[in-house]
Amino acid sequence: MTVPVATSTAAAVEVLARAAADGSTVVLSGHVQPDADALGSTLALAEGLRRRGARVAATFPEPFTLPASLGWLPGADQLVPPADLPAEVDVFVSLDAASTGRLGSLAALLDTAGSSVVVDHHASNPGFGDVRLVDPQAAATVVLVAGLLDGLGVDLDEQLATCLYAGLTADTGSFRFGNTAPGTHELAARLLRTGIDHAAISRRLFDTAPFGWLGLLSAVTGRAALEPDVGAGLVWTWSTAAEARAHGLAPDQLEALVDVVRATAEADVACVVKGQDDGSWVVSLRSRGATDLTRVATALGGGGHRAAAGYSSATDLEGTVARLRAALG
């Protein structure tokens, strides 16, 4: 059964509640190289379904390496490597993945599972899976997961709220980004009332890094380039997984660089091009508001939101940046 992209929460709840009541096997996965929203959504919904009686396996695509900045989330120790997933899956739930490509090899479960539920908030999501709960107006996928947990009759406690708050504060930039709405703060207040230590969550997500991060930051910002005549202004820099390791860091530490570069006042678009071990590049984009990055990233084979998007490139660094310049006009 295929339904429109704008599925109601009730339709997704119906599938999940039935799976829980039947004790079905449910596999949940966020996107490749999960961030706080993807992982927080996965862990919170997985725990909620366990409490309702489902047999649950929470995972994320290869490379199955949990970022150190997220390993403390409740339930992270129960994550299952893709290779160890059950052979037969009754329901597959995709969380925070804007496209099937973001699910890696786990995208096959969209076809082999008995049914699939897609929960996402990316405007670029083309619509996939059997039941689709895709709401670009949601500040984060955890907002949609909170609604699913309510529909399933699962009470929010400190464990669930910690996962949800991590995703909420990360995807709103600690409530600084334009996707923050009145409902965002209302959900945050509800989560705070469970007793979570919001200061500790924010400290772990935003204010904790190995000493080597300072050296990496110095090198990467030192070679940043400002191109005010590209679109509404472009500032960009680059790094590689190898460079991160040379500073004693895991490659996932590169993810935070774009939020430093984006502070440049003279450029509307900030970009960090991150070299992967296979020779490809992953491009992270942020906009201060004048540029629709959904359009830009989609044209280059990726996706995301108006103010935050990304894509992958198989060309060299010079060619990757040249294509970006052309897309920005």
pLDDT in tens, the chain (329 residues): 333 344 689 999 999 999 999 999 999 999 998 999 999 999 999 999 999 999 999 999 998 999 888 999 999 999 999 999 999 999 999 999 999 999 999 999 999 999 999 999 998 999 999 999 999 999 999 999 999 999 999 999 999 999 999 999 999 999 999 999 999 999 999 999 999 999 999 999 999 999 999 999 999 999 999 999 999 999 999 999 999 999 999 998 999 999 999 999 999 999 999 999 999 999 999 999 999 999 999 999 999 999 999 999 999 999 999 999 999 98
Q: What SS3 string covers the chain?
A: CCCCCECCHHHHHHHHHHHHHCCCEEEEECCCCCCHHHHHHHHHHHHHHHHHCCEEEEECCCCCCCCCCCCCCCCHHHCCCHHHCCCCCCEEEEECCCCHHHHHHHHHHHHHCCEEEEEECCCCCCCCCCEEEECCCCCCHHHHHHHHHHHCCCCCCHHHHHHHHHHHHHHCCCCCCCCCCHHHHHHHHHHHCCCCCHHHHHHHHHCCCCCHHHHHHHHHHHCCEEECCCCCCEEEEEEEHHHHHHCCCCHHHHHHHHHHHCCCCCCCEEEEEEECCCCCEEEEEEECCCCCHHHHHHHCCCEECCCEEEEEECCCHHHHHHHHHHHHC
| Whole-structure pTM value | 0.92
